[in-house]
Chains A and B, each alone.
Chain A
Amino acid sequence: MNAIAYCSWNAMESETSAIARGLRRRDPELLDRLIEQYQHRLLRYLVYLTNNRELAEDLFQETWIRVLERGHLYDGRHEFGTWLYAVARNLTIDYLRKKSPVSLDGLMEDEQHAPLEPADTRLAAWKVVEQHEQAERINAALVGIPAEYREAVVLRFQDELALEEIATVTGAPLGTVKSRLYRGLNLLMGRLEGKTA
């Protein structure tokens, strides 16, 4: 059991080291691969962080430009995804601070959120409609909760980050992350139940 854990840890370590080396070289093939690998997760995180699909797409591109420019800062000791989310988060906060001096919570008041695009899974039309409705329902529930709770919920339950990784991304203490997650899930459940009722 320990040997398996050691092997998988070793594999992860070598993969993150390879990514760190590639980022230092600004390897375009590696960056192409990473963009494809993290496209959905990163965009979803940015959409829920900003509550605005169009802005999230702009920030998606800017995040990868920043990864290219500051890739040498990634040391390979953490998962690349954790570092990527932290870069995206800092960029978003930086952008929003300069645009208007509001905190992340202020994003909630932004009513203009574009409808979310469901993945093309080539389902039957009715299934697509049903999926779209479900997506809208979840989206409406998610955007209704405060941004810091929403971020914790999305990172934990959609992107499946560990609590320590969420703390690294958000720069918040572990206890705060736990509290946000608990409250966020309760609020989300309340809103989902409210919508279905």
Chain B
Amino acid sequence: MSVNDHERARQLIALSGADASGGRTGDARAEGERGWLRVHLQECEECRDYAEAAGGAIRALRTHPMAAGSGLVRATQMRVRARALELRRQRERMWLVGLSCAFVGISAAVTTPLLWQGFAWAGEWMGVSSWVWQAGFTFVWIVPALVASALLVDRGTHLNAANGIGTSLRSNLGGGSAEQD
């Protein structure tokens, strides 16, 4: 019996997590290996002792209870539900924003040429040079978007609520280093 045999036997015992008797089969051990180990353990007292000690350690591990407190479970469930609600609302808001963007885009595509023609006609009627009515058109066309952007920057956007949630989650981790998204 070589040193390699003992090493192999010990590795098989450790990987299978089984007692020396081999009651529980491990997925790493083929049937042939189990047979070989059984024979080896019958002949080798040292490895039999090792198997018993390993079995004892594994049994001790398995009988070592650790429970999550019911408070932790309830708190987790509540946080998960709150976050799910927040995500749903966020998705609904994004859907509304998308719809608004599509509406604005289509209406801009339709009205811009008409507005351009209207300004051209008004400029001609008033007898002003073309750069004047073109400047007027640019002003009318761009100012509403600039006002809306300034208001959003000032008051915050629809995404702020979600960012707030992210911040509170991070702060709960004490220092907030864990990445959420």
Residues in chain A within 8 A of chain B (CB atoms): 26, 28, 31-32, 35-36, 39-40, 42-44, 47, 57-62, 64-66, 68-69, 91, 94-95, 98-99, 116-121, 131, 134-135, 138-139, 142, 153-154, 156-158, 160, 162-164, 178, 181-182, 185-186, 188-189, 192-193
From the candidates A26, A131, A138, A156, name the one contacting B17 in the complex (CB within 8 A): A156
Given pairs A31-B77, A117-B69, 13 additional interface contacts (CB within 8 A): A31-B80, A35-B76, A35-B77, A47-B66, A61-B72, A62-B178, A68-B84, A117-B67, A119-B66, A135-B65, A142-B61, A157-B61, A182-B11
Say whether B72 contacts A43, CB under 8 Å. Answer: yes
Say whether A28 contacts B68, CB under 8 Å. Answer: no
Q: What are the residues of chain B within 8 A of A162 when measuring CB–CB?
A: 27
What is the size category of the interface that chain B forms with chain A?
A: 35 or more
Say whether B84 contacts A26, CB under 8 Å. Answer: yes
Say whether B61 contacts A65, CB under 8 Å. Answer: no
Residues in chain B within 8 A of chain A (CB atoms): 10-11, 14-15, 17, 26-28, 53-54, 56-58, 60-69, 72-73, 75-77, 79-81, 83-84, 87-88, 169, 172-175, 177-181
From the candidates B63, B64, B68, B87, name the one contacting A60 in the complex (CB within 8 A): B68
Chain B residue, CB-CB nearest to A44 = B66
CB distance from B95 to the nearest CB of A (A): 15
Give bound CA distance, A26 to B91, whole Å: 12
CB distance from B25 to the nearest CB of A (A): 11
Say whether B62 contacts A158, CB under 8 Å. Answer: yes
Give bound CA distance, A160 to B138, whole Å: 70
Known contacts A64-B76, A135-B64, A163 near B179 by CB under 8 Å: no
Q: What are the residues of chain B within 8 A of A185 when measuring CB–CB?
A: 14, 54, 57-58
From the candidates B11, B61, B174, name the one contacting A58 in the complex (CB within 8 A): B174
Q: What are the residues of chain B within 8 A of A62 when measuring CB–CB?
A: 169, 173, 178, 180
Q: What are the residues of chain A within 8 A of B26 when measuring CB–CB?
A: 163
Chain A residue, CB-CB nearest to B13 = A185
Known contacts A65-B80, A68-B80, A99-B177, A39 near B73 by CB under 8 Å: yes
CB distance from B89 to the nearest CB of A (A): 12
Chain A residue, CB-CB nearest to B28 = A163
From the candidates A44, A64, A65, A186, name the one contacting B14 in the complex (CB within 8 A): A186
